[in-house]
Amino acid sequence: MAKSSRNSKASASNGSARGAKATIHDQELSRGNGGELHQVTDGATEVLTTAQGAPISDDQNSLRVGQRGPTLIEDFHFREKIFHFDHERIPERVVHARGYGAHGYFETYESLAKYTRADIFQRAGERTPAFVRFSTVAGSKGSFDLARDVRGFAVKLYTQEGNWDLVGNNIPVFFIQDAIKFPDVIHSVKPEPDRAFPQAQSAHDNFWDFISLTPESMHMIMWVMSDRAIPRSFRFMEGFGVHTFRFVNAKNESTFVKFIWKPKLGLQSVVWNEAVKINGAEPDFHRRDLWDAIQSGNFPEWELCVQLFDQNFADSFDFDILDPTKIIPEEIIKAMPVGRLVLDRMPDNFFAETEQVAFMTQNVPPGIDFSNDPLLQGRNFSYLDTQLKRLGSPNFTHIPINAPKCPFHHFQQDGHMAMRNPVGRANYEPNSWGMGPRENPQKGFRTFPNQEEGQKVRLRAESFADHYSQARQFFVSQTVTEQRHIAMALTFELSKVETPSIRERMVSHLLNIDEGLAETVAEKLGIRKLPKRADPAVEPRDDLPPSDPLSIIKNGPESFKGRKVGVLVSDGCDATLVSDLETALAKEGATMEIVAPRVGGVEASDGSHIEGKQMIDGGPSVLYDAVALIVSPEGAEKLTKEAATRDFVADAFAHCKFIGYVAAAQPLLDKAGVEPDEGVIPLASKADISPFIEACSKLRLWAREPTVKL
Ligand code: HDE
């Protein structure tokens, strides 16, 4: 008796904390419908209701017979609550399941009317609302952010003539040339079906088996084995439309176009050893980074660049412009900036927006059209199909995140969850009631009338046959450091392959790309006798010149803006130095985070308190772009005893980061086995701060890497 009455008291007091503001569900309702929100209130706070609007008296106890008796099925509130909970999950995306999105806008620089009638490109300075979702490809929704993987870069632009979805990746080429191979490449990379592992990894037999049997994937493999596949942040990666598209102008003239998003803050990736550790320390590393940047007003920005070319160029180019395993180097066709994308607002609700957003390659406004790229053609089929499976109804366009923001009128009706139906008698056209919308040949989307003819065949064009030349071009465009990373990535991945013949088959392909690379990988894998090189469909070329835009290191930032320093402090540390560093970093547009022995913080030499953001175990140096060690002699003495401190310093050094340190921190460097070089920078006084930040803007001291042998 006494027990149950205590419970019900607790429930009453729990209840008083409820409803301090409108529930998320209510907010969604009021926004989604734009209509009046019916609120039941007791005058002070809103009253909790069922989804049908009935006020609820007790949300702590289900209805039962007596205090200890069976629960009653007539408890409609309990039934509805559990029913809804049981149905909260929807299928995750079959690829790109793990993603993170943000709102923003696209601003057009100049009119592109000469090339396209797309409304978004007509007026200089015009802003178009945008929603972007970044993603990994292979892992499931709950996987970690730093998987070695392609990143999705999907942009929805709510133009005044309908939604334009540019559903791209952070890599400009793809694994396959024909959409019919998509299920195969994806099955091979996903967890193996009998054992259901490994999760979010390509380092396993099935993937490399498929790849080594698919020479057209070799160019993509070079990119995926490069640091492009382990970006430091969504903010520091490029996006590519991949396929050749068409611009079509008002005179119905067509220009081919490729789209590239270039981050204003320059390119940056992490190293593999770091990625592995980030995944353990902060599986949401990329999510948190985007969240923190936007919430603090440091809005990430990209420039949209277009490569424009005509049929004459297409006919004369060394490769087929319809082949999605090829790029057009920027030295050959300039990437012209045409606008900028700014992300300035996080969604109010992850599920409603980021999860339910439905991107579709076939969402193009008048003035943008497709090419015959067989991958693009296949995608145009797939994306509509997949939304029906995932979102469960053809009315997924009624979900606010997917609905156009321009006026729209059609006669589609009914179906599950229909929110909008035609009003009035007419739900067809033509009708003689004079009701409803009609098509408009001038304003409407007109497909570019490209002449097409030929036999129906299942044939791959000869012009798609060269699988190695651009893979080599990518490799020779990299700095020595980046080439080393590619060799290490291939070695790592293939070391996880248990079948020796698959490893060898891969090396036989590498021989067609770069002999030195093949030899290094073979040697590191312990392959004693080099296999014969793979038989190429077309003899690879070695005369394609290096292209600088393909390297990350050659396209790094101009400053340390947008980056973060991890500052390790202890009791008795120099408070002025800490605050001077913070001020200087803020001036640079960078931030710092205090890592302390206790998250409660430390007492500095002047008696002031410095609050910790992370305790040392929770803030390893892999989370930062550079580190500073600002400790007192006593603090250093204590910290050297902690394994986490040693890792903090040793990892920062091994990952080639810049390390600023006060003299008292010397024991920490010694304990971590740091051999000072120009990247280990004394911070004796305020005057040392600016050279330290200047050095940090180079991001890494790559010259150190051969000595740390990562
Ligand atoms: Fe996708 N892809 N894809 N893809 N893709 C999907 O659509 C597909 C390809 C890309 O954040 C799916 O809504 C086929 C290339 C991104 O919601 C699905 C082929 C590129 C996203 C699908 C490709 C992409 C997807 C799964 C081979 C870069 C995430 C869920 C022909 C240019 C969008 C969904 C988001 C998602 C099919 C190849 C990018 C199944 C058949 C090439 C960024 O429709």
Q: What is the pLDDT of residues 31-71, one digit of tens each?
A: 433 334 445 555 689 999 999 999 999 999 999 999 999 99
User: Which class for 135: exposed (0-12), middle (13-18), buried (19 or more C-beta within 10 A)?
Assistant: buried
**What does the pLDDT average to over 303-330?**
98
Structure tokens at 128: 């178009």
Structure tokens at 533: 């090189």
Q: Which domains does the chain have, with CATH numbers?
A: 2-86 (4.10.91.20), 99-191+225-398 (2.40.180.10), 560-708 (3.40.50.880)
pLDDT digit string, tens, across residues 79-98? 999 999 999 999 999 999 99
Q: How far apart, in whole angstroms, are the C-alpha atoms of residue 300 and residue 233?
A: 10
The residues assigned a catalytic role are 96, 169
Beta-bridge partner residues of 260: 240, 305
Q: Whose CA is nearest to atom 31 of ligand 1?
A: 179
CA of 361 to the centre of ligand 1 (A): 8
CA of 152 to the centre of ligand 1 (A): 8
Q: Is 196 helix (H, G, I), strand (E, B) or coil?
A: coil
Across 94-112, b (16+ Cβ under 10 Å) vs e yields ebbbbbbbbbbbbbbeeeb
Pocket test for ligand 1, best of 92, 95, 359 (most atoms within 8 A of CB): 95
**Run of H or E residues at 39:** none
CA of 389 to the centre of ligand 1 (A): 14
CA of 383 to the centre of ligand 1 (A): 7
Q: Whose CA is nearest to atom 44 of ligand 1?
A: 383
Q: Is 525 helix (H, G, I), strand (E, B) or coil?
A: helix
Largest CA distance in the chain: 90
Model pLDDT, residue 6 = 36
CA of 386 to the centre of ligand 1 (A): 9
Helices (H), 300-428: 311-316, 350, 374-391
Residue located via tokens 């559990």: 82
Binding-site residues sit at: 93, 133, 182, 379, 383, 390
Q: Whose CA is nearest to atom 14 of ligand 1?
A: 379
Q: Whose CA is nearest to atom 6 of ligand 1?
A: 95
CA of 379 to the centre of ligand 1 (A): 7
Q: How far apart, in whole angstroms, are the C-alpha atoms of residue 706 and residue 710?
A: 8
pLDDT digit string, tens, across residues 102-115? 999 999 999 999 99
Structure tokens at 369: 């059209």
Residue located via tokens 């611009």: 247
Structure tokens at 294: 């936007």
Structure tokens at 479: 């700095």
Beta-bridge partner residues of 307: 258
Q: Whose CA is nearest to atom 38 of ligand 1?
A: 379
Q: What is the DSSP letter of 192?
A: P
Ligand 1 contacts (CB < 6 A) are: 93-96, 99, 133, 135, 152, 154, 167-169, 174, 179, 182, 242, 324, 359, 375, 378-379, 382-383, 386
Binding-site residues for heme sit at: 93, 133, 182, 379, 383, 390
pLDDT digit string, tens, across residues 443-474? 999 999 999 999 999 999 999 999 999 999 99
Pocket test for ligand 1, best of 363, 379, 381 (most atoms within 8 A of CB): 379
Question: For residues 390 and 138, is the Cβ–Cβ distance under 8 A?
Answer: no
Above pLDDT 90, what percent of the chain?
93
pLDDT of 2 strictly over 90: no
Q: How far apart, in whole angstroms, are the C-alpha atoms of residue 389 and residue 91?
A: 8
Counting from 1 in the atom list of ligand 1, the atom nearest the Cα of 179 is 31
**What does the pLDDT average to over 174-189?**
98
Q: What is the DSSP letter of 582?
A: H
Counting from 1 in the atom list of ligand 1, the atom nearest the Cα of 382 is 44
17: confidence class by pLDDT, cuts 50, 70, 90: very low
pLDDT digit string, tens, across residues 489-544? 999 999 999 999 999 999 999 999 999 999 999 999 999 999 999 999 999 999 99
**What does the pLDDT average to over 586-608?**
97
pLDDT of 234 strictly over 80: yes
Closest by CA position to 567, among listed 550, 551, 580: 580
Compute the mean pLDDT over every residue in the chain, rounded to the nearest whole number: 94
Model pLDDT, residue 134 = 99
Model pLDDT, residue 11 = 39
Model pLDDT, residue 709 = 74
Cα distances (angstroms) measured from residue 465 to each of 12, 91, 355, 514, 553: 73, 37, 38, 18, 31
Q: How far apart, in whole angstroms, are the C-alpha atoms of residue 200 and residue 209?
A: 17
Whether pTM > 0.90 for this model: the answer is yes
Phi, psi of 484 (to 5 degrees): -65, -40
Question: For residues 306 and 257, is the Cβ–Cβ distance under 8 A?
Answer: yes
